[in-house]
Amino acid sequence: MVLTKKPVDTWRTKSWYAVIAPKFLGEVEVAQVPASDEQHLVNRVITLPLREVTHDLSHMYVNIRLRVSEIRGRTAFTKFIGHEISREYLSTLVRRHRDALRVVLPVKSADGIDFTVKALAVTNSPCSAMQKSLLRNALASEMKKKVAKQEFGKFIQEVLWGKAGTELYGKLRKLVPLRRVEVYKTELYEEFDVAEVQSLENMGDEGAGETEGEPTGETVEAAESVPTSA
């Protein structure tokens, strides 16, 4: 008689961990993720809509990225590493007979955190080359000054809740008639030990939902294309 080995249900070997948002986002539970070993969760990136944190439907077009930084028991604590507004939403702003100017800036907060900010200024009507240059330079200058005066968490709060864009709009509309200003993407600069990165790459996916198993970086572009609506 041939004995067949019963397949092992790997899900039975896994435990569920509660994912907690950073302190400046209220330290609320935002997800549940499975893992067979808690060390498999450390440095995992979780992408989710901001509305999962705020329960505000107006935040459905904003995604945030959190990296698991610490495990305590069955709780996974995270740090904020970036956000992005969806292209679908941006396309509703960028229409014909309007100009859209983008700036990509390396910045440092008052508490010494280095990160990249990408902002978009949309005008009410087409602008001259001189107006575009004036607006782009002013947006970059005002953004750098604002970040330098605030701690990282406070600045990100204002970005996610739209206060930063509104404040920049109020200052820049004096130069050129504006439709809107959006800080549409932020990305934290991160450094990892080479051996740790290789270990994460070999680990493979072990979670549910939109999670990533290893740190990734994005080359900062001079400009990004956004679909234009009629």
Per-residue pLDDT of the chain (230 residues; tens, 9 = 90+): 555 665 655 666 788 999 999 999 999 999 999 988 888 899 999 999 999 999 999 999 999 999 999 999 999 999 999 999 999 999 999 888 889 999 999 999 999 999 999 999 999 999 899 999 999 999 999 999 999 999 999 999 999 999 999 999 999 999 999 999 999 999 999 875 444 545 555 554 444 344 444 333 333 333 344 445 54
pTM of this structure: 0.77
The segment(s) of the chain belonging to CATH 3.30.479.30 are 87-188
Question: Which superfamily does 87-188 belong to?
Answer: Band 7 domain (3.30.479.30)
Kindly report the backbone phi and psi dihedral angles of residue 8, in degrees, each rounded to the nearest multiple of 5, phi listed first: -90, 130
